[in-house]
Structure 1
Amino acid sequence: MLGNLPKEFPQVIGFVLLPRFSMIAFGSAVEALRQANRISGRELYRWPIFSVDGQPVTASNGLTFTPEGDLDTAGRLQTIALCGGVEVQKAADRRLISWLRRMDRQGCDIGGICTAAYVLAKAGLLDDVACTIHWENLASFVEEFPELDVSNELFEVERKRFTCAGGTAPLDMMLNVITQQHGHELAAAVAEQFMHERIRDQHDHQRMSLPARLGVRHPKLLSVIATMEKNLEEPLSRAQLAREAGLSTRQLERLFRKYLNRSPARYYLELRLNRARLLLLQTNLSVIDVALACGFVSASHFSKCYRDFFGRTPRKERGLPGEGNDLRKVG
């Protein structure tokens, strides 16, 4: 398991870069290992990179990497980390999935960084372990794989699997690995090199707190918004929201107008529409299924609200032939 002390050094962790992978996620993982080598004065880790076909692979930011080899070359390793990013669904092809299953049968430790957990799930390699994925993909991931034990934590390491949310979370995952293998002093020294003031553990949540995200600290308003975010599929009425927060409906309206410059109903609708957009872009759910998952009672009502907010219909969002004439831009 990732984190156990290896029998020999350097410990080799092979990174398989998927098309449009997240540069910050990949770099956060590798840089932690590099600094551990530098500070310790020993080659504790090595991190060869691979692509599916051995050809150069381009990150989501446009930078291109030349790998050391293809999947057959990477298959000689005992620990493999897939690095995902944008449109990871397109990377989950038959060749990659077959290879992952073969590596699993050979007893390899296999992990997914950022969105690569999607590929592991497609391969059936996350069925009996806790897993995580980047928060923006969380809703669509749960919709597509409802049987999995999915968390919103920074990373999960269980038996021969590890998954990590992406962003800077791989830095924390590797710092925890360094702590387990070589002690807190080395991990803290690595963290300090990156001005990373606290080594987060796997139970830290991915997203910023509501006050930090919204720039608002009114406790009752934050309570209402948290309730909204938990009830997108079956939206609560304005009266229910007010009652749960200990407010009158008039007080609720005033709070939203004062701090967010919109009504509670409008804010709630925007939350649901933004969730719907992620589901449209990240899953194969039908438009009506997306509508129902986000609290809309009909596809027509959903389509109208979506068009009014985003300036295009749900079908246009997916690049499918749309309905009607050109749409006006919102705002």
Structure 2
Amino acid sequence: MLARSTQRLDIDLLILPETNLILIASVIEPLRGANRISGSEIYRWRLLTVDGDPAPTTSDIPVPACAPFKATADTAPLFVLASYNWRQSATPALKMQLSQATRYRTMIAGIESGTWLLAEASLLDGYSATIHWEDFEDFALAYPYVRASRERFVIDGKRLTTAGSLPTVDLMLEVIRQRQGYSLALEVSRLFSYEQADFHSEHELSPSTVSLRMRDPRVAHAIRLMEDNIEQPLVLARIARRVGISARHLQGLFQESIGAPPHVHYLALRLNAARRKVIETKASFADIAAATGFNSASAFARSYRASFSESPSDTRRRLRRRIMLAQERP
């Protein structure tokens, strides 16, 4: 699931009663955004409930299910979503189904209170896992065989866990980053005007930090300079001087704040700008290369392919085929 791939990834979401709508959206919307930006269906999801009936949510808006959850030989990653009153769903039958599902599923994720259910089914024994900050102490005491963590999300082998809705967005962006690269993950985050927290913050979660931490203002200044200078990229030393620190210091701040060095972030900004021009305009690749700071069309094409696993020409051909197929449908 987390290996670099251009293949479509199918994900099953088991939604328990009284789950927050924002929690469901935190899983689905980044994937929808990745599909939209990439111009292809690289993610597909299926909504399941215990009995196949629509799941009641805390917003009194029922979420329809595609099917009831069953412990079949399906290998798609399984995300277990829960917010409140998870114990009502933790029946012996469901815990047995989850245990049986682990024989086949490539990964199982506990999303917010879904972590409780996985732990109750003994599926987190020997794993590191996180939980909502309000529940941390109780969770750590209840499941001594689980290594309780205060991180926003935890990936430990075939187990994924998150500490809330916004940390779930962090997790989904990390899934996209590992599968399709930093450029697409960055563009998805920008689609929602979302500033991502450090993936591996050591700060404990609390009421004041459960929302996203503000980025270091020097990093924010540097990113604004990058965004304002796409056509003629600035060298790192010049950006650092304008921010008022050394290049080495700026590199460290980037790594701490967004989990990537400056040059990776800058290149992703330029490639994303180029990709939009490839998709939305008929400009030549030479013109697009010049407009996004590449010294030749060939250099642009190499970077584009390395980031998006297809050439600019491939992107345009693929989109033309989609348009033609859509026009042919009755």
Where do residues 126-141 of structure 1 align in structure 2 (5 Å cutoff)?
A: 126-141=124-139
Q: Determine which of 9, 12, 28 is the counterpart of 1:11.
A: 9
Partner of 1:13: helix, strand, or coil?
Answer: strand
Question: What CA distance in whole angstroms lies between the structure 1 residues aligned with 2:74 and 2:25?
Answer: 23
The answer to whether structure 1 residue 83 and structure 2 residue 81 are counterparts is yes
**What's the offset of the Cα at 1:77?**
4.0
Does the 8 A contact of 2:71 with 2:100 survive in 1? no
Uncovered stretches (5+) of structure 2, i.e. residues with no partner = 212-330
Count of residues in Structure 1 that have an aligned counterpart in Structure 2: 209
Does the 8 A contact of 1:9 with 1:43 survive in 2? no
Structure 2 residue aligned with 1:149: 147
Where do residues 4-153 of structure 1 align in structure 2 (5 Å cutoff)?
A: 4-5=3-4, 9-72=7-70, 76-153=74-151
Does the 8 A contact of 2:16 with 2:50 survive in 1? yes
Question: What CA distance in whole angstroms lies between the structure 1 residues aligned with 2:146 and 2:161?
Answer: 13
Does the 8 A contact of 1:175 with 1:199 survive in 2? no
Does the 8 A contact of 2:78 with 2:105 survive in 1? no
Question: What CA distance in whole angstroms lies between the structure 2 residues aligned with 1:13 and 1:111?
Answer: 11
Partner of 1:47: helix, strand, or coil?
Answer: strand
Distance 1:51 1:203, change over 3 A: same
Partner of 2:14: helix, strand, or coil?
Answer: strand
**What's the offset of the Cα at 1:101?**
0.6
Structure 2 residue aligned with 1:195: 193
Question: What CA distance in whole angstroms lies between the structure 2 residues aligned with 1:193 and 1:84?
Answer: 26
Quick one: which amino acid aligns to residue 9 of structure 2? Q
Uncovered stretches (5+) of structure 1, i.e. residues with no partner = 213-331
Does the 8 A contact of 2:75 with 2:105 survive in 1? no
Q: Determine which of 171, 180, 183 is the counterpart of 2:181.
A: 183
Does the 8 A contact of 1:26 with 1:170 survive in 2? no
Question: What CA distance in whole angstroms lies between the structure 2 residues aligned with 1:95 and 1:89?
Answer: 13
Question: What CA distance in whole angstroms lies between the structure 1 residues aligned with 2:165 and 2:58?
Answer: 13
Structure 2 residue aligned with 1:291: none
Quick one: which amino acid aligns to residue 117 of structure 1? T
Q: Deviations over 1:154-199 (max 9, x none)?
A: 1111111101112211111011111111111111111011111235
Question: What CA distance in whole angstroms lies between the structure 2 residues aligned with 1:52 and 1:202?
Answer: 33
**What's the offset of the Cα at 1:47?**
1.1
Question: What CA distance in whole angstroms lies between the structure 1 residues aligned with 2:56 and 2:73?
Answer: 22
Question: What CA distance in whole angstroms lies between the structure 1 residues aligned with 2:41 and 2:23?
Answer: 22
TM-score under structure 1 normalisation?
Answer: 0.59
Quick one: which amino acid aligns to residue 147 of structure 1? Y
Does the 8 A contact of 1:133 with 1:164 survive in 2? yes
Question: What CA distance in whole angstroms lies between the structure 1 residues aligned with 2:105 and 2:126?
Answer: 15
The answer to whether structure 1 residue 207 and structure 2 residue 230 are counterparts is no
Question: What CA distance in whole angstroms lies between the structure 2 residues aligned with 1:33 and 1:164?
Answer: 16
Quick one: which amino acid aligns to residue 4 of structure 1? A
Distance 1:29 1:206, change over 3 A: farther
Quick one: which amino acid aligns to residue 158 of structure 2? K
Partner of 1:48: helix, strand, or coil?
Answer: strand
Structure 1 residue aligned with 2:219: none
Does the 8 A contact of 2:80 with 2:110 survive in 1? yes
Question: What CA distance in whole angstroms lies between the structure 1 residues aligned with 2:56 and 2:100?
Answer: 26
Does the 8 A contact of 1:132 with 1:156 survive in 2? yes
Partner of 1:14: helix, strand, or coil?
Answer: strand
